[in-house]
Amino acid sequence: MSAAATPRFVVRNLTKHFPLRGQGRENRVVHAVDDVNLTVEAATTLAIVGESGCGKSTLARCMVGLMRPTSGAILLDGEDLTDRDALRQHRREVQFVSQDPLSALNRSRTVGATIVQAMKVHDVGDSSKARRQRAGDLLEQVGLRRDYMGRRPTDLSGGEMQRAVIARALAVEPSVLVLDEPTSSLDVSVKAVIANLLLELQATLGLTYVMITHEIDLARHMSDRIAVMYLGRVAEDGPTVDMFAAAGALHPYSQLLFAAQPLPDPRHRRFVGIGGEVPSAISPPSGCRFHTRCPIAIDRCTSELPLTEALAPNHLVACHRASEHLDASSTPRSELPPSSDPGVEDALLGPADQGDQ
Amino acid sequence: MTTTRTDDRLASTAGETVITVDSLNVSFGSAGSKKHVLRDISLELKAGEILGIVGESGSGKTTLLSTILGLLPPEGRVDSGDIRFGTRDLLQMSGAERRSLRGSALRLVPQRAMTSLNPVRTVIKQFQQFAKSAGQDDLSAEDLTVLLRRVGLALEPRQLKRYPHEFSGGQLQRMFIAASALLGEPSVIFADEPTSTLDTTVRSQILELVRRLRDEVNVSVIFVSHDLGVVAQVCDRVLVMYAGEVVENADVISLFDDPKHPYTRALLGALAERHQPHEMLTAIPGKVSDSLRIESGCRFAPRCANAFEPCQSIWPADRRAGSSLVKCHLYGEDAREQ
């Protein structure tokens, strides 16, 4: 990728607020996504990770044009998709693969009809015959037999349905796939099959992926970059290899999130948590949104919004304290208290869980 | 007819067996469309042990849990086998006796705390109900706040008058765990995918809580999960289930260091953590439904990379492989014939 080339997919200052209705709530909004900036180079994968309520699914819906952002831009090869005309023209190029494949398919239609319909809507293919031919080819490409054309979604297993959804997304020749938790409803062995399929398709078709997931292991395996979201904002956004290298993630939230992933290795047990509950997105905390739960927060964090800075090449972090730790070449992780349980590497962090919502 | 509640708790000494399941066979449906959903299941839960049951959808792990608890749906039938709690035969007990055991000696922590609570009753009222079945007649709001503090929930007595929807999933799951481990004197906690709907950082805290309470109150736990990471973090011993059978029974270190059954190996091979980034993961060809109808031969054979001649025709009973028990012809003779 040359530096001069326009990146394939860019999210610029994207904000999505949901107004609240009802008396006394007139001027209040849910801050679902606030001032998010992301860049995805062609034929690479950006994983967006975070826990419930961080805004990752709202962001995905804005990216594919299912939701209009409150402000900001979504650029596909430099064209702003928040412009209605541009969206109409380019909608085909950004396709969505949703979390629940059964709800993404029409249960009363055959798989073949669903795929052909997508082509019709987007004016792909010259004749019905050509479309049916292509639908069959696509099913084979995603590892299903041609005779699945005549089957209905409810006759398919979870993995087969997800393949069918991917085939439908590919039917309209997209350049970007937005994958919303593509494997989270699937069994371990099926998960592996879908992950392999997505990697293969990317290699053969040069697809660009934006993958929304809460599964850190999947993000690590599939992505080139990882963006960590917390309460509507991007806390950290960097190359996947750097995020899991020795220096690791630089934002305290990313560090805790990654460390909390249960490793399939009983010799390395660690239990990591974050005290308290996720604050309300209606009145998010001042300053850094993570300060109410952050183990290393200082006074400045409560009042001043941290700027997003490049602390390493291509590695953006929004934290007042990340740079000092980088300078001291000791990560904040060393401040974590030692564990009381001998079998445990890291201790539970933060204050006792507060009941107040 | 019913025994007194104090008798229900087993005097638990380390190493003693709390739950024994012996050659259990369960089927669904009647003659024509009979499905053999649990085949020859044997297990022992030791006092103070966390026993993991891991498997994919259709493996029968939830059916096994339901059978032990006496909660099989009406179409389910125990064809043969024994289930014992201490020395008492659970399958010979009356419905009333089994009901009184559930909630007192045997506790269930459900998958979704939110849908398992009554949405129109306050939390304190529901806890008082739990306490009553656990043999503790009056539970005040103050008692409950003390109890919840032990599971890391700092709530004021007035907050207990709230309804379930006013709490987060993690908070409710902590409450369920508090109710199952700390009210009365439980012997066994049955946790059915207790963390699968929780966020990563909350899940990790709940797993820590399960291990800590096990140590504090010396309760035994049967922990059902589809997540090998969770099982590795929390369990002492693990049963791997496939298509209604326990294909491998091993201590947790042996299972992850040296998996024996080809299915266990394939499952571990499917994990991203065991591969380089962007590398193809090991996939298992075929699907579970190919296996459920197999009555003679090994149920995993149609999908197994190591299948050879006897696998198609001879059912592999348990064999010893190191310290593990494995249902696989790769490991020599039937353990029962040795």
Encode pLDDT of B90-140 as tens digits.
Answer: 999 999 999 999 989 999 998 888 888 999 999 999 999 999 988 888 899
Q: Which of A250, A195, A191 is nearest to A226 (CA)?
A: A250
Give CA–CA dist B288/A28, Å, rounded: 50
CA distance readout (Å), A300 to A160, A247, A321, B126, B287: 51, 24, 10, 43, 55
Averaged pLDDT score across all residues of chain A: 88
pLDDT for position B285: 84
- Residue contact B201–A192, C-beta within 8 A: no
Q: What is the DSSP letter of B102?
A: B
> Do residues A262 and B201 make contact, with C-beta atoms less than 8 angstroms apart?
no
| Site from B145, B204, B228, B275 to mutate, A interface, most A CB atoms within 10 angstroms | B204
Q: Which residues of A touch B287 (CB under 8 A)?
A: 157, 159
Give CA–CA dist A349/A139, Å, rounded: 48
Q: Select the residue of B199, B204, B274 nearest A214 (Cβ to Cβ).
A: B199
Chain B: residue nearest A268 by CA?
B233
B49: which 2 tokens? 């042990």
Residue B31: pLDDT band with limits 50, 70, 90: confident
- Residue contact A277–B229, C-beta within 8 A: no
pLDDT for position A247: 76
| Site from B195, B200, B213, B247 to mutate, A interface, most A CB atoms within 10 angstroms | B200
Of the listed ranges A185-189, A302-306, B128-132, B241-245, the least confidently predicted one is A185-189
Residue A162: count of CB within 10 angstroms of its CB: 30
Give CA–CA dist B264/B331, Å, rounded: 14
pLDDT for position B13: 58
Counted across chains A and B, CB pairs separated by less than 8 A come out at 160
Of the listed ranges A148-162, A337-351, B269-283, the least confidently predicted one is A337-351
pLDDT in tens, B209-231: 999 999 999 899 999 999 999 99
Give CA–CA dist A104/A98, Å, rounded: 7
Q: Which residues of B touch A157 (CB under 8 A)?
A: 287, 289
CA distance readout (Å), B92 to B51, B78, B80, B88: 24, 12, 12, 9
In B238-322, alpha helices (H):
252-257, 262-269, 309-313
Q: Angle CA(B259)–CA(B211)–CA(A260) in degrees, nearest 5?
A: 75
Instruction: Report CA torsion sign: B170, B171, B172, B174.
Output: positive
Interval A88-110 mean pLDDT: 91
- Residue contact B272–A266, C-beta within 8 A: no
**DSSP-based three-state secondary structure for B208:** helix
- Residue contact B268–A264, C-beta within 8 A: yes
ipTM of the complex: 0.87
pLDDT for position A6: 85
**Cβ contacts of A287-295, under 8 Å, gap ≥ 24:** A288/A318, A288/A319, A288/A320, A289/A230, A289/A231, A289/A232, A289/A233, A290/A230, A290/A231, A290/A235, A290/A251, A290/A252, A290/A253, A293/A350, A294/A252, A294/A253, A295/A252, A295/A256, A295/A332, A295/A335, A295/A336, A295/A349, A295/A350
A123: which 2 tokens? 């004016």
Of the listed ranges A153-162, A170-179, B235-244, the least confidently predicted one is A153-162
Residue A339 vs residue A219, higher pLDDT: A219
B241: which 2 tokens? 């289930």
Q: Select the residue of B199, B204, B228 nearest A272 (Cβ to Cβ).
A: B204
% of chain B surpassing 90 pLDDT: 69
Residue B9: pLDDT band with limits 50, 70, 90: low
Interval A207-213 mean pLDDT: 97
- Residue contact A217–B267, C-beta within 8 A: no
- A231 close contact with B: CB closer than 8 A: no
> Do residues B190 and B107 make contact, with C-beta atoms less than 8 angstroms apart?
yes
- Residue contact A266–B252, C-beta within 8 A: yes
pLDDT for position A240: 96
pLDDT at B233 over 50: yes
pLDDT for position B5: 41
Q: Which residues of A touch B56 (CB under 8 A)?
A: 187-190
pLDDT at A350 over 50: no
Q: What is the dihedral of CA A161, A165, A166, A172, to 10 degrees?
A: 150
Q: Which residues of chain A from 323 to 352 reach within 8 Å of chain B, CB to CB?
A: 341, 344, 348, 352
pLDDT for position A102: 87
Interval B182-204 mean pLDDT: 91
Q: Which residues of B touch A195 (CB under 8 A)?
A: 272, 281
pLDDT at A321 over 50: yes
pLDDT at A309 over 70: yes
**DSSP-based three-state secondary structure for B80:** strand
Residues 6+ apart with CB under 8 A from B147: B178, B182, B183
- A280 close contact with B: CB closer than 8 A: no
pLDDT at B14 over 70: no
Q: Which of B247, B223, B271, B257 is nearest to B329 (CA)?
A: B247
| Site from B51, B197, B233, B240 to mutate, A interface, most A CB atoms within 10 angstroms | B233
Give CA–CA dist B287/B302, Å, rounded: 9
Q: Which of B237, B250, B262, B259 is nearest to B316 (CA)?
A: B262
B182 CA: distance to closest CA in chain A (Å): 18
- Say what the pTM is: 0.88
pLDDT for position B165: 92
Give CA–CA dist B29/A329, Å, rounded: 64
pLDDT in tens, A262-304: 999 999 999 998 988 889 899 999 999 999 999 999 999 999 9
- Residue contact A262–B171, C-beta within 8 A: no
Chain A: residue nearest B170 by CA?
A277
pLDDT in tens, A14-41: 999 999 887 776 778 999 999 999 999 9
Roughly what angle, to the nearest 10 degrees, separates helices B169-182 and B123-133? Answer: 20
User: Which residue reads 């050509």 in tokens?
Assistant: A130
Residues 6+ apart with CB under 8 A from A74: A9, A10, A11, A12, A14, A62, A63, A80, A81, A82
- Residue contact A273–B281, C-beta within 8 A: no
Averaged pLDDT score across all residues of chain B: 89
> Do residues A183 and A101 make contact, with C-beta atoms less than 8 angstroms apart?
no
Q: Select the residue of A193, A266, A271 nearest B208 (Cβ to Cβ).
A: A271
Residue A2 vs residue A143, higher pLDDT: A143
pLDDT at B268 over 90: yes
| Site from B155, B156, B201 to mutate, A interface, most A CB atoms within 10 angstroms | B201
User: In chain B, how long is the greatest CA-to-CA distance?
Assistant: 68
| Site from A49, A204, A271 to mutate, B interface, most B CB atoms within 10 angstroms | A271
